[in-house]
Amino acid sequence: MRIIAGKYRGRVLKEFKGTDIRPTSDRVKESVFQILTPYFAGARVLDLFAGSGALGIESLSRGADEAVFNDLSKDSLLVLQANLKKVGERAKVYNLDYQSCLKALSGKFRLIFLDPPYRMDIAEECLALIRERGLLEEGGLAVYECEKELTAPDGWETADMRSYGRTKVYFFKEQEEGV
């Protein structure tokens, strides 16, 4: 797993051992980040199910000002901390379940990465919490990775959707009031 572009381009990130973790493949990450290119400059980014931190670190590499990371697994946080050290970045890191993290955060994010374990069917719940807490800045995107077909929940619209084999990536934006 490597950083694809930006100031840390080519740096290899520490990965997990074993088969329990499913990191976003470089091919999917490269395609998704091409789509997101206009969003990075000066952005504040949330990597809610951070794992190794690859999505948030890639965002920092491409010009995001700040990345906030969260993961429930202490093993993931060790890998994340090693990867942040590898690129010389400091970041706010939470060790909370996703609901507690979304409830604890303040401020707005331009990009919110939601890459939970595929067995978790939580898109609607996550997006509802994000909307309720006002965590997404106007014009920002919640990027959700999963295996199944989704429809935008109430208050959201699908700005884009890409399919990469069994992996699907949805780019959700909040619906404008009155729509």
Residue 1 included in any domain: no
How many CA within 13 A on the CB side of residue 39? 27
The residue assigned the tokens 């401020």 is 107
Q: Which of 64, 124, 130, 116 lies closest to 91, judged by CA?
A: 64
pLDDT score at 65: 97
**How would you write the pLDDT of the chain (179 residues) with one tens digit per residue?**
889 999 999 999 988 664 455 567 778 889 999 999 999 999 999 999 999 999 999 999 999 999 999 999 999 999 999 999 999 999 999 999 999 999 999 999 999 999 998 889 999 999 999 999 999 999 999 999 999 999 999 999 999 999 999 999 999 999 987 55
> HSE on the CB side for 105, CA within 13 Å?
32
List the CATH number of the domain containing 57. Answer: 3.40.50.150
Domain hosting 126: range is 26-174
Task: Please say whether the beta carbons of 94 and 69 come within 8 A.
Answer: yes
| Residue 22: count of CB within 10 angstroms of its CB | 14
User: Taking the model in full, what pTM does it have?
Assistant: 0.94
Total count of domains within the chain: 1
